[in-house]
Amino acid sequence: MNNDSTGRIIAGVREWIAHAPPGARVPSSRALMAEYGASPVTVQKAMRALASLGLIESRPGVGTFVRSVRTTRPADYGWQTAVLGSPHARIAALSSTQRTVAPDAIALHSGYPARDLLPERLVRAAIARAARTDAAMTRSPATGLPDLQAWFATDLAALAPVGVTPPTARDVLILPGSQSGLSSIFRALVGPGHPLVIESPTYWGAILAAAQAGVVLVPIPSGPDGPDPDDLERAFAQSGARAVYAQPTFSNPTGAQWSTERGVAVLEVVRRHAAFLIEDDWAHDLAIDTDARPIAAHDDDGHVIYLRSLTKSVSPSLRVAALVARGPARDRIIADRAAESMYVSALLQSAALDVVTQPGWRGHLRGLRDQLRSRRDLMIDSLREHAPGAHVERPPLGGLNLWVRLPDGIDVERFVRDCESRGVIVAPGTEWFPAEPSGPHLRLNYSGPDPERFPEAARVIGAVLDEHA
């Protein structure tokens, strides 16, 4: 359709046909020329297009008629079943954290902060500025915009103790979100059928990416202080795994932060086993009581593969994350990314860099810290008052979530449904366990909308707890 009046005639006649019986006579060329103010050539072109679509048929010397249309039948894709076979992993298409819920519900299930916790003014201005730069019209290098690589490298290098050679811009690979990084790392450094040690509980997205990559998970328990280095030692020795995935800073779901000593001890075990520590620093910018202290800052031997995302602190629409890796592992990951997606939008990179280098960014993070603190405390206090059976082992030091232990014997899925029927949406803890859950848990996001409704939510949770007791 490279001619607009032809297109207009086609659309008009199509519309007419939709309401005409099969076999009806189509208006004459003359009538169409008059109706659309079009030339004979244009009308003829439209008629030919309609005929080639099988919508009309012309009977020479008689006229042009609407073709009889086969009635729509319900589609049957059954033939695909045998071709596709059974999936190598049962991957749930949607996590409970990604559900869309009724607008009047109290939503504590999502993994994202509410919009009023985002630097909206900075983001909008940054996008508008980026729209005027080269970034809007050009392709980014495969590893990312050099300035953004440098920013991530410098930010991590500032935390490197003396004697440790800090990463450089070249060690940084920009990603379209950290989920892509997890998939690439698991594919490139572990591989299908190979073991990967993982904290339990841990981030459901990592469990999902591991299932997609076909890696075999080897869970080790991880509490408020992180995993026991002896457990890690044993898991490496018994499984032969050469990599461990962890969130040492404000772990999702527990909010735990490893002490520097614990981090260094874990890194020691990793080194001794010539293994990789995949450090997912997802909540770097979501600190409350302490600051993020990445273990990656202590490594210059290429043992730590470091992931950091800006999606949750800048905007879910500026999906940009960084991966820091050195040595052949870096090359292996870059090759996987090239095959997977080639490069990340320069527009998103440029806008994200703009946001985090504005003078207002530091101020925003300070405000965010205060907001997260008061929301976290309000939710803890509300639960304490209205749902004393919901136990929080240790308040999270940062991040977005409260990890709540329910009394033994509670059916979590039924519990979640009962809360939902009263307008409170919570996430069942089940999704954060790589194997059977160690007990019934809920994850409550205190960074969602409507903190003033936390007491109301806690009352509902308390009431449902009483019913399930």
Within 307-326, the residues that bind a copy of itself by CB under 8 A are: 315-319, 326
CB proximity list for 174: less than 8 A, separation 6 or greater: 140, 143, 144, 145, 148, 149, 152, 320, 321, 322, 344, 349
- 81 touches a copy of itself (CB under 8 A): yes
**Amino acid occupying residue 326:** R
Cis check for the bond before 407: say yes or no (omega within 30 of 0).
Answer: no
Cα 357 to Cα 119: distance, rounded to the nearest angstrom = 13
Q: According to CB under 8 A, which one of 9, 13, 107, 127 is a site residue for a copy of itself? A: 127
Stretch of 84-92, 215-223, 248-256, 431-439 lying at the interface with a copy of itself (CB under 8 A): 84-92
State in angstroms the smallest separation of the CB of 417 from a copy of itself: 22
Contact yes or no for 372/220 (Cβ under 8 A): no
Cα 246 to Cα 277: distance, rounded to the nearest angstrom = 7
> Which residue's CB is nearer to a copy of itself, number 328 or number 407?
328
Three-class secondary structure of residue 113 per DSSP: coil
Q: Using CB under 8 A, which residues numbered 362 to 391 contact a copy of itself?
A: 362, 365-366, 369
Q: Using CB under 8 A, which residues numbered 88 to 107 contact a copy of itself?
A: 88, 91-94, 98, 100
Stretch of 24-32, 251-259, 335-343, 443-451 lying at the interface with a copy of itself (CB under 8 A): 335-343
State in angstroms the smallest separation of the CB of 291 from a copy of itself: 7
Other C-beta atoms lying within 10 Å of the C-beta of residue 348: 25
Instruction: Give the number of residues in contact with a copy of itself, rule: CB under 8 A.
Output: 109
State in angstroms the smallest separation of the CB of 152 from a copy of itself: 16
Closest CA to 189 of 236, 148, 243, 153: 243
Closest CA to 430 of 448, 415, 445: 415
Contact yes or no for 422/467 (Cβ under 8 A): no
State in angstroms the smallest separation of the CB of 414 from a copy of itself: 26
- 24 touches a copy of itself (CB under 8 A): no
- 347 touches a copy of itself (CB under 8 A): yes
State in angstroms the smallest separation of the CB of 37 from a copy of itself: 18
Q: According to CB under 8 A, which one of 159, 169, 264, 265 is a site residue for a copy of itself? A: 159
- 221 touches a copy of itself (CB under 8 A): no
Q: According to CB under 8 A, which one of 79, 103, 409, 436 is a site residue for a copy of itself? A: 79
- 173 touches a copy of itself (CB under 8 A): no
State in angstroms the smallest separation of the CB of 376 from a copy of itself: 16
Q: According to CB under 8 A, which one of 40, 63, 221, 327 is a site residue for a copy of itself? A: 327
Cα dist. 26→12, 64, 67, 69, 70 in Å?
Answer: 12, 6, 10, 15, 19
State in angstroms the smallest separation of the CB of 432 from a copy of itself: 16
DSSP 306-375: EEEE-TTTT-TTS--EEEE--THHHHHHHHHHHHHHS---HHHHHHHHHHHTSHHHHHHHHHHHHHHHHH
- 31 touches a copy of itself (CB under 8 A): no
> Which residue's CB is nearer to a copy of itself, number 72 or number 102?
72
